A and B are shown apart, each in its own frame.
Chain A
Amino acid sequence: MLLEMRNITKTFPGVKALDDVSLAVREGEIHAICGENGAGKSTLMKVLSGVYPAGSYQGEIVYDGARAEFRDIRDSEERGIIIIHQELALVPLLSIAENIFLGNERGRNGVIDWPETFRQTEGLLAKVGLRETPGARVESLGVGKQQLVEIAKALSKNVRLLILDEPTAALSEADSQALLDLLLGLKAQGVTSIIISHKLNEVRRVADTVTVIRDGATISTTDARGGTLTEDRIVRDMVGRDMAHRFPDRDRRAGDVVFELRNWNVRHPEQRDRRMIRDLSMQVRAGEVVGIAGLMGAGRTELAMSVFGRSYGRDITGEALIHGRPVDLSTVDRAIAAGLAYVTEDRKSLGLILDETIRRNVSLANLDAVATRGVIEEARETEVAETYRQSLRIRTPGVFQKVMNLSGGNQQKVVLAKWLFTEPEVLILDEPTRGIDVGAKYEIYNIINELSAAGKAVVMISSEMPELLGMCDRIHVMNEGCFVGELTAAEASQEAIMSLIVKE
């Protein structure tokens, strides 16, 4: 055993995040941790890596045969435990090389030895299979490549135990595959990893052992070699019951056209000659869920943001209609008033005010509904937040909890609650289930279905094809700012979508 965590208990004010959790990791394996949102996965890893120092939790950690009491991250890094957090922690304006050796610079007496730094960076980039120059700025890289930089950074520190908290949540299919292959490669070189993921197919692909945590307690630890462990079994441990279907049934009946875009054109905000969206038209009927598939960079988020109050791009032309009437979507508040809602893909920086309570986040986009003549009625506001807390099953001791303290999936539900409260006619969801566990996904799908049953129009952007296939009545396939094809639910399949994307 490389690592044993025994009877770990960690309490936050009002919440017992971990209750007597144990975890044992063998040397040289890939150990997956699964569990619902808020089960305590991230917290357990923070305990392990010293983010929560020894003494702030109960229980003991035995690492490499000796009892370990890490006071901070440096402490654990010295012993070869490197954590890559759910949120990437790179400095966007610095180069790849600078980021990799940040705080660990090559050189002497505080003078950086650049040739050496670059040479070593090249070696590390080759190891992780990233073809970029060491001097490239991190902000110019996509999320997938940034993730590889994080791993290169970990490798530069002589990693023995690599911890990845939802590394593929924001990655496209291809990038995820590359990352998982890299993990398998590292394993061959003797690096042990712990990976947290909600994508069970990935877990099945790479994991040697799977530990499931539920409500802050270890439920099961299973050997996954040999392929006997099924996804259904993991799901059952995670949610505590059998889940026969991943997608709820919906009765599919499309009504009149609710939302329509005609000849939508958008240019890049800085480079005016770049056309990001080109002559795009679409219709969504009442009760319909329309999906938009495409690779990262196809322009899906740009399309959604440009429609939602011109939040992206410039020189936007085209017509938008809701219930057949042209609407003014030139600012966000007008778009909201017209009946549009947009659930962003980036909940932390665009969707939430992390330092505020759940209650205040939920009411934010529709404050006037809880106010009389500009004066907020706190009782009403609290009731609203409480209603959504219950109906969306946001796991938290109360609506006065700061959003910062919620687990990723529960934060997503708060964003959703905020937009449901605006009672939109048209709901645009951008990666609505990113980083969300299967149980909560099912709940969110249910909410989507309820909305469409109530005659709303739903547009769903997603990089997870099974989700599009399971939920949508029609799927538009997008590439380089255009729709390159449309598939009905009956025609759609992963292969059909992929072949439309690559046909271009």
Chain B
Amino acid sequence: MEQVDPAQQAARLGIGAYVARHIRDYGLLFALIAIMVFFQVVTGGTLLKPVNITNLFLQNSYIIIMALGMLLVIVGGHIDLSVGSVMGFIGALAAVMIVTLGLPVAVAIPVCLVVGMGIGAVQGYFVAYWRIPSFIVTLAGMLVFRGLSLWLLAGQSVGPFPKSFQALSTGFIPDLFGMDRPNLLAMAVGVVAVVALLWLGLRARARDARYGIEGEPFGLFLLRNAIVAAALLFVTWKLAWFRGLPNVLLSMVVLTVVYVFVTERTTLGRRVYAVGGNAKAAKLSGIRTERLTFLTFVNMGLLAALAGLVFAARLNTATPKAGFAVELDVIAAVFIGGASMSGGSGKIVGAVVGAFIMGVMNNGMSILGIGIDYQQVIKGLVLLAAVFFDVYNKNKDA
């Protein structure tokens, strides 16, 4: 065995070969851009209008929020089919508490979040400590909570919500600079985000270089960051010309950053990957696998509850149909984002991009007036194509 210096080899292979080897990561970004360009063209420019970009975030926030939790569940080697129903149930619970019983919003929201965690805890308990397959436990949960939301709402829609509750979703962050349009805060946030991303990226590169890890060729690093930066600035610029930063966008970004940190940098995140990668080996390494599995479900319950609140706030009513089949969109987003069905691998950023891909397709197809029938078919095919691409690349490597 002769050892080849990886850095040297990378230089020899060049950018093309590097991309080919990391095709999954670049492919995802490329797919998102391609899909956006496609819909931008066929919708005659409607897709990227300020108001529609704002809408895109509002419409997809709940999927993204739940995709964060679902990624952890799937990385841990499980699945949660109940999230759509739980989301609907929590929306119904909020409506009953706030609209019917007249409880203050500040009380109802924490109660809803705690109930969500409780639901996750019960399901997680059966999965983790009784080793009942998560598919079965959460399938049961899906039916139970679908039924319970119908019962809670007595089959009716309940609404509207007070303004303070609606702000969860449809509110905008006021411009600190006191301007109306363009919203300077939005633009400032965009610039800060770009600088932060660049700085983090450069720092990671420096670290990789120190340990001799084969990094992205510098040209590619610049190109990728340029694209991401341009997209970020473009989006914030557009938002600035509508009503500024939606509240929900801010919560999404904060949540995403937190989950990226937890999954990539903390012992907790690392252990979840270990359990998904090989539960027996993880257990024999002193990791409390049951407790971790339990916690991933509690976390999922919490995020499903948050999604339920955001969704109800946006529609301004709770309906018995809310959250119907949403679990499928969430799971699809995670798999499009490159997570593996058998657990142990997958990234938060991938899941978020996967959710955006689903979101842009939903939105674009709705603008085009494509029927729900075709929409389902197309989404299904995109999911299959994404996973096929994964498997194909894995086989090619071996």
Question: Do these two chains really belong together in a complex?
Answer: yes
Interface string of A326-351 (1 = CB under 8 A from B): 00000111011000001010000111
**A353: contacting residue among B3, B274, B286, CB under 8 A:** B274
Instruction: Confirm or deny: A287 has a beta carbon within 8 angstroms of a beta carbon on chain B.
Output: no
The answer to whether the Cβ of A431 comes within 8 Å of any Cβ in the partner chain is no
Q: Which residue of B lies closest to A52 (CB)?
A: B398
Contact A375 B265 (CB under 8 A): yes
Cβ of A382 under 8 Å from chain B: yes
Known: A16-B2, A331-B288, A375-B265. A353 touches B277 (CB 8 A): yes
Residue A134 is within 8 A (CB to CB) of chain B in the complex:
no
CA A396 – CA B21 in complex, angstroms?
19
Q: How many residues of chain A have a CB within 8 Å of chain B? A: 47
Q: Is B1 an interface residue (CB 8 A)?
A: yes
**What's the minimum C-beta distance from A70 to chain B, rounded to whole angstroms?**
16
Interface Cβ pair total, 8 Å cutoff:
109
- B-facing mask of A378-413, CB < 8 A → 1, else 0? 110010001000000001011010000000000000
Stretch at the interface among A146-154, A295-303, A362-370, A495-503: A362-370
Residues of A contacting B2 with CB < 8 Å?
15-16, 19, 215-216
- Nearest A-chain residue to B344, judged by Cβ: A355
A374 within 8 A of B: yes
Closest to A396 in B: B3
Q: Give chain B nearest CB distance to A218 CB in angstroms.
A: 14
The reply on A32 being an interface residue by CB < 8 A is no
A374: chain B residues at CB < 8 Å are 266-268
Expressed in whole angstroms, the Cα–Cα distance for A66 and B87 within the complex equals 66
Which chain A residues lie closer than 8 Å to B278 at the CB level?
Answer: 349, 352-354
Selected from B213, B274, B284, the residue in CB contact (under 8 A) with A308 is B284
Q: Which of B4, B280, B283, B284 contacts A397 (CB 8 A)?
A: B4
User: How many angstroms from the CA of A16 to the CA of B271 in the assembled complex?
Assistant: 33
* Partner pick for B266 among A332, A375, A395, CB 8 A cutoff: A375
**Chain B 200-217 per-residue mask, 1 if CB under 8 angstroms from chain A, else 0:** 000000010011111000
Determine if A311 and B3 form an interchain contact, defined as CB atoms under 8 angstroms apart: no
- Alpha-carbon distance A342/B280, docked complex (angstroms): 14
Q: Collect the chain A residues with CB atoms within 8 Å of residue B207's CB.
A: 378-379
The reply on A481 being an interface residue by CB < 8 A is no
For residue B345, CB closer than 8 A to chain A, the reply is yes
Taken residue by residue from 269 to 310, chain B's Cβ proximity to chain A (1 for < 8 Å, 0 otherwise) reads as: 011011001101111111110000000000000000000000
The reply to whether B213 and A360 form a contact with Cβ atoms under 8 Å apart is: no
Residue B133, interface by CB 8 Å: no
- Could you mark each residue 317-345 of chain B with 1 if its beta carbon is under 8 Å from any beta carbon of chain A, else 0? 00000000000000000000000000011
Q: How many whole Å from A456's CB to the nearest CB in chain B?
A: 18
B270 near A376 (CB under 8 angstroms)? yes
- Chain B residues positioned under 8 Å from A332 (CB to CB): 283-287
CB pair A364 B4 closer than 8 Å: no
B6 part of interface (Cβ distance < 8 Å): yes
Q: Is A418 an interface residue (CB 8 A)?
A: yes
Q: Which residues of A contact B4 (CB under 8 A)?
A: 14-16, 397
A349-B266 in contact (CB<8A): no
Judge whether A368 and B277 touch: CB under 8 Å.
Answer: no
Task: Say yes or no for A371: interface residue by CB 8 A criterion.
Answer: yes
Do the beta carbons of B1 and A395 come within 8 Å of each other? yes
Contact B267 A376 (CB under 8 A): yes
The residue of chain B having its C-beta at the shortest distance from the C-beta of A360 within the complex is B270
What are the residues of chain A within 8 A of B274 when measuring CB–CB?
Answer: 353, 356, 360, 364
Q: How far apart sit A14 and B273, CA to CA, in the bound complex (Å)?
A: 25
| Residues B286 and A39 in contact, CB atoms below 8 Å apart | no
A342: nearest chain-B partner, CB-CB:
B284
Least Cβ distance of B164 to chain A in Å?
Answer: 35
Q: Which residues of B contact A342 (CB under 8 A)?
A: 284
Q: Mark A11-41, 1 if CB is under 8 A from B, else 0.
A: 0011111010000000000000000001110
Interface residues of A (CB under 8 A from B): 13-17, 19, 38-40, 215-216, 308-309, 311, 331-333, 335-336, 342, 344, 349-356, 360, 364-365, 367-368, 371, 374-376, 378-379, 382, 386, 395, 397-398, 400, 418
When A and B form their complex, which 10 residue pairs have the shortest distance between CB atoms, in order from nearest? A353-B277, A333-B286, A365-B285, A16-B2, A336-B286, A367-B267, A353-B278, A332-B286, A364-B285, A371-B267
Q: Can you give 25 A-B contacts (C-beta < 8 A)?
A: A13-B21, A14-B6, A19-B2, A40-B1, A309-B284, A311-B284, A336-B286, A349-B278, A352-B278, A355-B277, A356-B273, A360-B270, A365-B285, A365-B286, A367-B270, A375-B267, A376-B266, A376-B267, A379-B207, A379-B210, A382-B211, A397-B5, A397-B6, A398-B213, A418-B285
- Supply 14 further A-B pairs (C-beta < 8 A) apart from A14-B3, A17-B1, A331-B288: A14-B4, A15-B3, A216-B1, A331-B286, A352-B278, A353-B277, A353-B281, A364-B274, A364-B285, A368-B267, A375-B266, A375-B267, A379-B211, A397-B6
